[in-house]
Amino acid sequence: MNISILGSTGSIGTQALKVADDLKGIKEINIKAISGNKNVRLLEEQARKYCPEIVAVFSEEGAKDLKVRLSDTPVKVVCGQEGLTQVATHPESEMVLSSIVGSSGLVPTLHAIESGKDIALANKETLVTAGKLFMDKIAEKKVRLLPVDSEHCAIFQSLAGNRHNKIRKILLTASGGPFFGKTRDELKGVTKEMALSHPNWSMGAKITIDSATLMNKGLEVIEAKWLFGVDIDDIEVVVQRESIIHSMVEYEDLSVIAQLSLPSMKHPIQYAFTYPDRLPSPDRRLNFADLKKLTFFEPDEETFSCLRLAKEAGKMGGIMPTVLNASNEVAVEKFLKGEISFLQIGETVEKTLSEYKNIENPTIDDILRIDADVRERFK
Ligand code: MN
């Protein structure tokens, strides 16, 4: 299978290349095009190892640098939004892995769908900010959409063979993050380092902070709403501390179907690459006797206001999820720079949401305009 990777130097992108290595001799994954943001050295390394035809670097400067570095190879280096489009629409790619962080992944992913590519979606912000337009485009172009988010991949697997049956609840699991069980008072002095150390998952900085505030789970509730066509009220967040059950589906007969595995993003990536087949993985297997127990709790939406805010924005629909997502992206950036405190992330999102009037059935231009407008407020 030929693929393009949007965001090959990030956490998902690098793990996807490892999965391609693991599958060698079982299923060949040919990397036709890749894109990165600023890590030019890693892009050079990847280009030499995987020999894609096109490498896109977002910045012009980075592209110039990479062009020089790869001048002894036939690799074509491109840049900017146009470069991302070339990666997303490479004529030989059958699938595009969308793993750019944040809403900047939206436009190139829409281009990929437009040109008939199957989508392996790791970029949840895309569905949060433009879920309806995105899903309509998927249906119109009749392409496959495979979720590369562990929870949504688990739900997708738990729905297999049951699509004709009514769902009672989607049980979306959450680890609870590094601050599980803490009070708001205890969260006042949280530092960047504390927020960046997740107990179960190793991920990029943005999603790790989102996991600490539970905004990640909030975004995932909205993501699930669009992926599986359910109401926000039919999605129940369950804290599963060990991150072994990746999510579950409860049916009308009260049967619950779950997917379990050790926490590794390589699992959902491989499933997207091999679907509908299940091919061997060299990773460690789940040993239940070692595990001994699984622990469950209800999420605390009062302390972790981001989860509540995301559900509210998801129910309102229109542009509110766009406002939620953009203000969260800005707030997380500010927190990582040390400009605001941990609790101010949720406060910033709440205040920004209150400042916008909703627009029903927004167009893609409305969404891009509101997204830019929210970011402009914080400049
Ligand atoms: Mn997830």
Task: Compute, in angstroms, the gap from residue 222 CA to the centroid of ligand 1.
Answer: 12
Task: Compute, in angstroms, the gap from residue 240 CA to the centroid of ligand 1.
Answer: 13
Contact predicate 128/191, CB 8 Å: no
CA 83 to CA 77: how far, in whole Å? 8
Residues near 301 by beta carbon (within 8 Å), at least 6 away in sequence:
214, 307, 308, 311
**Under DSSP, is residue 272 helix (H, G, I), strand (E, B) or coil?**
helix
CA 11 to CA 1: how far, in whole Å? 22
Task: Compute, in angstroms, the gap from residue 201 CA to the centroid of ligand 1.
Answer: 10
Q: What's the first-to-final CA gap in the chain, in angstroms? A: 43
Residues near 95 by beta carbon (within 8 Å), at least 6 away in sequence:
1, 2, 3, 4, 117, 118, 119, 120, 272, 273
What pLDDT digit, counting tens, does each position of 26-57 carry?
Answer: 999 999 999 998 899 999 999 999 999 999 99
Task: Compute, in angstroms, the gap from residue 175 CA to the centroid of ligand 1.
Answer: 10
Per-residue pLDDT of the chain (379 residues), as tens digits, is: 999 999 999 999 999 999 999 999 999 999 999 999 889 999 999 999 999 999 999 999 999 999 999 999 999 999 999 999 999 999 999 999 999 988 889 999 999 999 999 999 999 999 999 999 999 999 999 999 999 999 999 999 999 999 899 999 999 999 999 999 999 999 999 999 999 987 787 778 899 999 999 999 999 999 999 999 999 999 999 999 999 999 999 999 999 999 999 999 999 999 999 999 999 999 999 999 999 999 999 999 999 999 999 999 999 999 999 999 999 999 999 999 999 999 999 999 999 999 999 999 999 999 999 999 999 999 8
Task: Compute, in angstroms, the gap from residue 217 CA to the centroid of ligand 1.
Answer: 7
Task: Compute, in angstroms, the gap from residue 290 CA to the centroid of ligand 1.
Answer: 24
Task: Compute, in angstroms, the gap from residue 226 CA to the centroid of ligand 1.
Answer: 15
Task: Compute, in angstroms, the gap from residue 76 CA to the centroid of ligand 1.
Answer: 34
Task: Compute, in angstroms, the gap from residue 20 CA to the centroid of ligand 1.
Answer: 21
Task: Compute, in angstroms, the gap from residue 220 CA to the centroid of ligand 1.
Answer: 7
Q: Where in the chain is the domain with CATH 1.10.1740.10?
A: 162-264+282-377
**Which pLDDT score is estimated for 82?**
95
CATH match of 2-147 with 3.40.50.1240: no
**Which pLDDT score is estimated for 129?**
93
**Which pLDDT score is estimated for 185?**
95
The first and second tokens of residue 314, run together, are: 């998801």
Task: Compute, in angstroms, the gap from residue 291 CA to the centroid of ligand 1.
Answer: 21
**CATH code at 162-264+282-377:** 1.10.1740.10
Closest CA to 338 of 215, 198, 207, 209: 209
Q: Where in the chain is the domain with CATH 3.40.50.720?
A: 2-147
Residues near 334 by beta carbon (within 8 Å), at least 6 away in sequence:
340, 348, 378
Residues near 283 by beta carbon (within 8 Å), at least 6 away in sequence:
262, 264, 266, 267
**Which pLDDT score is estimated for 339?**
96
CA 222 to CA 218: how far, in whole Å? 7
Task: Compute, in angstroms, the gap from residue 342 CA to the centroid of ligand 1.
Answer: 21
Task: Compute, in angstroms, the gap from residue 29 CA to the centroid of ligand 1.
Answer: 24
Closest CA to 306 of 243, 368, 361, 237: 237
Contact predicate 321/222, CB 8 Å: yes
The 3-state DSSP composition of the chain as helix, strand, coil percent (nearest 5) reads 50, 15, 35
Task: Compute, in angstroms, the gap from residue 319 CA to the centroid of ligand 1.
Answer: 23
CA atoms within 13 A on the CB side of 285: 5
CA atoms within 13 A on the CB side of 354: 6
Closest CA to 105 of 128, 77, 126, 75: 126
Task: Compute, in angstroms, the gap from residue 146 CA to the centroid of ligand 1.
Answer: 14
**Which pLDDT score is estimated for 291?**
95
Task: Compute, in angstroms, the gap from residue 131 CA to the centroid of ligand 1.
Answer: 17
Closest CA to 97 of 1, 13, 206: 13
Task: Compute, in angstroms, the gap from residue 252 CA to the centroid of ligand 1.
Answer: 25
The first and second tokens of residue 163, run together, are: 């699509």
Task: Compute, in angstroms, the gap from residue 211 CA to the centroid of ligand 1.
Answer: 9
pTM (predicted TM-score): 0.95
**Which pLDDT score is estimated for 199?**
77
Q: Is the peptide bond before 321 cis (omega within 30 degrees of 0)?
A: no
**Which pLDDT score is estimated for 104?**
84
DSSP structural state of residue 101: S
Task: Compute, in angstroms, the gap from residue 70 CA to the centroid of ligand 1.
Answer: 35
Residues 228-247 as b or e (16 or more Cβ within 10 Å = b)? bebebeebbbbbbbbbbbbb
CA 87 to CA 1: how far, in whole Å? 16
